[in-house]
């Protein structure tokens, strides 16, 4: 955002008031982050400045803390109201989460001094006992108005999990209150949370938690707050940009939606060589035709922070909503992603880059908070570094992971992941257990968590970062017709500007061409698979052995066609190691429980990935073995297998 904008927006005077609801206009500034995914350390980044590529690092929690404290100081100096919110998905993403299972997240998030956080889908990646410990370890509330945990033994007593929270403001000073009556003449802001209504289909371990409809629950909560006399309502959500817009257009009374889930960096970053996102702080008209709702989101991985100033009329309507996302950059720049001494820019070149950054409205140089940096380095980082294990190969050039192909450029990483799983499934060791030969593999873009940077590739880079979910690999029979249906379903649902792009399918031993006919819609022009070294058209009536992760083999994350194919009967097998021995777990069928969560019914012994002797992460093991055996110098495959013709 414009570097003078925060000061200008915070300069609105907060006048006195004559009742429990302020009679004078009120301005609230919201600082916000989302989808931080355990990126406590900064991320490597490529920027284009003055038509030249430069490399630096962005974000990380010590940098977030510095910037948040700057905003707090500015709010205090101008006596303005400020809240700092998180749009959910703090879990997963780096080796820190694999090692500390949410405990480090609770520690670091609390140090940021947040005022509230939405519950993301990845917060359900472990069991609810871990989630309860995480929630109870935070010093700020976790918000979810459409969640019922009353039947869940782990979460039913989590007092820090609440539908909404109320804050009363006296200038820049805020106080958490239980009712509007406590506020007296001070303006009150309610922050309510919303989680995915289809959480049970997306998250692997929801326990006995139930999820209600987003729009219906939101309107009911708003009505309850209005009846209490609350004029100003903020929704912190983990729904994705498309559903946030639907919420704004279907619900009366929400003033601002601070979102997450779709990793949307709103604003125009094309001058930095990044994409031009949708506009920041767009306002949508409520169904009553009277009120408006402002929608914001701040990208991913703790790289940026959003700031929006919302000015209200005397009767509590939104009069203005302005702000932007700001990338938080280091002050050291390089001409190569390796970022070594030889690649560092000269002092004169560094100064030119700094001057160019100072001219940009949506990036700023921010030092790391020294205390937090030292704390991470002393308390957590040593274990992370030792956990990375042996070198398995080398990456000579950056392999960028792009979820949905952009400008003809598909992911360089997802096809390698798919190739590793097909290779592994057809090794003699695995075939001796399965008795099958796999025809091709399919991988969802969202299951691949990052790009691969130049340098040594260690086991931990794969199991802790690239493929951190410890998924078993599955083999399942699908007809050509079912494969085509799956591709159409996942491509169409992943391509919209505000869609969940993690559903997008990549493959190995399979290639397809898709032609877009309207925005986010199209048809398959070709589907082929590699048979005995020759590409052949998929036969709609033929049956194929398809390699998938167990998560997507169950139809999770919107891969519904796979679920539908296995409701009555399946020949699927899941593969995991038990006491270091590869074991096949045959599946009989799939079903859904009362909450809509998909359940796997095994023929004999069930696969329990929580057992200490069981290693379910065959997806990561497959990639490690593939690199060691076939591609120790890891470069991109000659083709991605995806031909995508966009309008």
Same domain, 358 and 506: no
pLDDT of residue 397: 83
Pair (141, 67) in one structural domain: yes
- Note the pLDDT of residue 16: 33
Q: Are 313 and 413 contained in the same domain?
A: no
pLDDT at 647: 79
Of 15-24, 326-335, 435-444, the least confident: 15-24
Share of the chain above pLDDT 70, in %: 96
Q: What is the dihedral of CA 135, 136, 142, 147, to 10 degrees?
A: 70
pTM: 0.81
Same-domain check for residues 446 and 316: no
- For residue 542, the model assigns a pLDDT of 98
Decide if 578 is inside a domain.
no
The answer to whether residue 273 sits within a structural domain is yes
Higher confidence at residue 237 or residue 316? 237
Q: What is the full DSSP assignment across 468-516? A: TT-PPEEEEEEEHHHHHHHHHHHHHHHHSTTS-GGG-EEEESEEEEEEE
Which of 381, 415, 444 corresponds to the end of one domain?
381
Is 300 in the same domain as 333? yes
| Assigned domain for 589 exists | no
Distance CA 565, CA 587 (A): 13
Confidence of residue 44 (pLDDT cuts 50, 70, 90): confident
The enclosing domain of 230 has a CATH number of: 3.60.21.10
Give the Cα separation of 161 and 145 in Å (integer). Answer: 10
Report d(CA 47, CA 270) in Å as an integer: 10
- 414 and 556 part of one domain: yes
Final residue before a domain boundary, out of 381, 412, 443: 381
Closest listed residue to residue 243, CA positions, set 29, 28, 131, 88: 88
- Using CA atoms, how far apart are residues 556 and 598, in angstroms rounded to an integer? 7
Same domain, 170 and 233: yes
Whether residue 469 is contained in a domain is answered as yes
The residue-averaged pLDDT of 292-319 equals 95
Residues 261 and 399 in one domain: no
Q: Are residues 73 and 115 in the same domain?
A: yes
Residues 431 and 493 occupy one common structural domain: yes
Quick check: helix, strand or coil at residue 411? coil
The per-residue pLDDT for range 325-350, each reduced to its tens digit, is 999 999 999 987 777 788 899 999 99
Burial class of residue 528 in the structure, from the number of CB atoms within 10 Å of its CB (0-12 exposed, 13-18 middle, 19+ buried): middle
Structure confidence at residue 65 (pLDDT): 98
Using DSSP, state whether 170 is helix, strand or coil: strand
pLDDT, tens digit, 9 for 90 and up, residues 377-418: 999 999 999 999 999 999 988 899 999 998 778 999 999 999
CA 354 to centroid of chain Cα atoms: 30
Within this chain, do residues 342 and 307 fall inside the same structural domain, yes or no?
yes
Which is higher by pLDDT, 192 or 19? Answer: 192
Decide if 592 is inside a domain.
no
Domain count across the chain = 2
* pLDDT for residue 19: 35
Over range 111-132, report the average pLDDT.
96
- Asked if residue 587 belongs to a domain, the reply is no
Residues 358 and 443 in one domain: no
- Which of 584, 450, 457, 448 is CA-nearest to residue 503? 448
Mean pLDDT of the chain: 93
Query: pLDDT per residue over 225-256, tens digit each?
Result: 999 999 999 999 999 999 999 999 999 999 99
- Which residues constitute the domain of residue 523? 389-567+618-645
Report whether pLDDT(58) > 80: yes
CB 376 within 8 Å of CB 370: no
Mean pLDDT of 34-49: 93
Q: Is 585 a member of any domain? A: no
Of 349, 381, 413, the one marking the end of a domain is: 381
CA distances from 465 to 171, 491, 618 (A): 43, 25, 15
The answer to whether residue 595 is domain-embedded is no
Q: What is the pLDDT of residue 418?
A: 98
CATH number reported for the structural domain that contains residue 515 in this entry: 3.90.780.10
Q: How many CA atoms lie within 13 A of 522 on its CB side?
A: 23
């Amino acid at each position: 955002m414009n570097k003078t904008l925060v000061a200008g927006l915070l300069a609105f005077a907060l006048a006195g008031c004559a009742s429990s609801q302020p009679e004078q206009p009120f301005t609230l500034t919201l600082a916000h982050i989302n989808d931080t995914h355990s990126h406590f350390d900064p991320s490597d980044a490529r920027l284009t400045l003055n038509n030249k590529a430069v490399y630096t690092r962005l974000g990380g929690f010590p940098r977030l803390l510095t910037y948040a404290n700057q905003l707090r100081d500015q709010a205090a100096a101008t006596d303005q109201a400020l809240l700092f919110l998180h749009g959910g998905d703090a879990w997963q993403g780096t080796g820190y989460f694999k090692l500390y299972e949410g405990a480090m997240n609770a520690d670091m998030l609390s140090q940021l001094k947040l005022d509230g956080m939405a519950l993301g889908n990845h917060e359900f990646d472990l069991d609810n006992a871990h989630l309860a410990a995480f929630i109870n370890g935070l010093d700020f509330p976790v918000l979810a108005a459409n969640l019922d945990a009353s039947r869940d033994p782990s979460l039913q007593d989590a007092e820090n999990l609440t539908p909404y929270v109320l804050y009363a403001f006296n200038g820049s000073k805020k106080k958490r209150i239980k009712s509007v009556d406590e506020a007296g003449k001070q303006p009150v802001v309610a922050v309510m949370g919303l989680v995915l209504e289809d959480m049970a289909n997306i998250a692997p371990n929801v326990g006995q938690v139930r999820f209600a409809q987003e729009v219906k629950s939101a309107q009911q909560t708003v009505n309850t707050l209005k009846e209490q006399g609350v004029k100003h309502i903020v929704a912190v959500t983990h729904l994705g940009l498309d559903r946030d817009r639907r919420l704004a257009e279907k619900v009366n009374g929400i003033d601002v939606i601070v979102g997450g889930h779709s990793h949307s960096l709103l604003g125009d970053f094309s001058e930095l060589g990044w994409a031009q996102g949708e506009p920041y702080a767009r306002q949508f008209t409520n169904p009553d035709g009277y009120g408006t709702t402002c929608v914001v989101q701040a990208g991913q991985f703790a790289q940026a922070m959003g700031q929006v100033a919302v000015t209200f009329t005397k009767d509590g309507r939104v009069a203005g909503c302005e702000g932007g996302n700001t990338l938080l950059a280091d002050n050291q720049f390089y001409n190569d992603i390796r970022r070594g001494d030889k690649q560092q820019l000269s002092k004169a070149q560094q100064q030119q880059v700094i001057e160019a950054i100072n001219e940009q409205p949506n990036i700023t140089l921010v030092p790391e908070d020294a205390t937090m940096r030292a704390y991470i380095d002393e308390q957590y980082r040593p274990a992370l570094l030792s956990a990375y294990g042996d070198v398995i190969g080398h990456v000579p050039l950056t392999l960028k992971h792009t979820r949905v192909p952009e400008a003809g450029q598909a992911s360089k990483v997802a096809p390698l992941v798919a190739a590793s799983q097909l290779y592994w499934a057809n090794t003699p060791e695995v075939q001796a257990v399965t008795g099958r030969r796999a025809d091709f593999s399919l991988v969802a873009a969202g299951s691949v968590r990052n790009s691969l940077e130049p340098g040594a590739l260690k086991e931990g880079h794969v199991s802790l970062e690239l493929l951190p979910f410890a998924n078993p690999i599955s083999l399942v029979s699908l007809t050509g017709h079912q494969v085509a249906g799956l591709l159409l379903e996942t491509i169409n649902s992943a391509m919209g500007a505000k869609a969940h792009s993690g559903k997008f399918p990549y493959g190995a031993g399979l290639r397809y061409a898709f032609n877009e006919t309207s925005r986010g819609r199209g048809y398959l022009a070709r589907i082929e698979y590699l048979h005995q070294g020759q590409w052949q058209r998929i036969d709609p009536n033929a049956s194929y052995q398809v390699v998938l992760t167990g998560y997507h083999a169950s139809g999770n994350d919107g891969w519904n066609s796979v679920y539908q194919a296995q409701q009555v009967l399946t020949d699927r097998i899941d593969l995991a190691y038990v006491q270091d021995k590869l074991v096949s777990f045959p599946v009989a069928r799939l079903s859904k429980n009362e909450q809509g969560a998909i359940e796997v019914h095994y023929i004999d012994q069930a696969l329990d990935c929580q057992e200490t002797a069981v290693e379910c992460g065959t997806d990561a093991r497959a990639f490690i073995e593939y690199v060691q055996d076939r591609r120790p110098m890891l470069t991109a495959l000659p083709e991605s297998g995806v031909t995508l013709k966009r309008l």
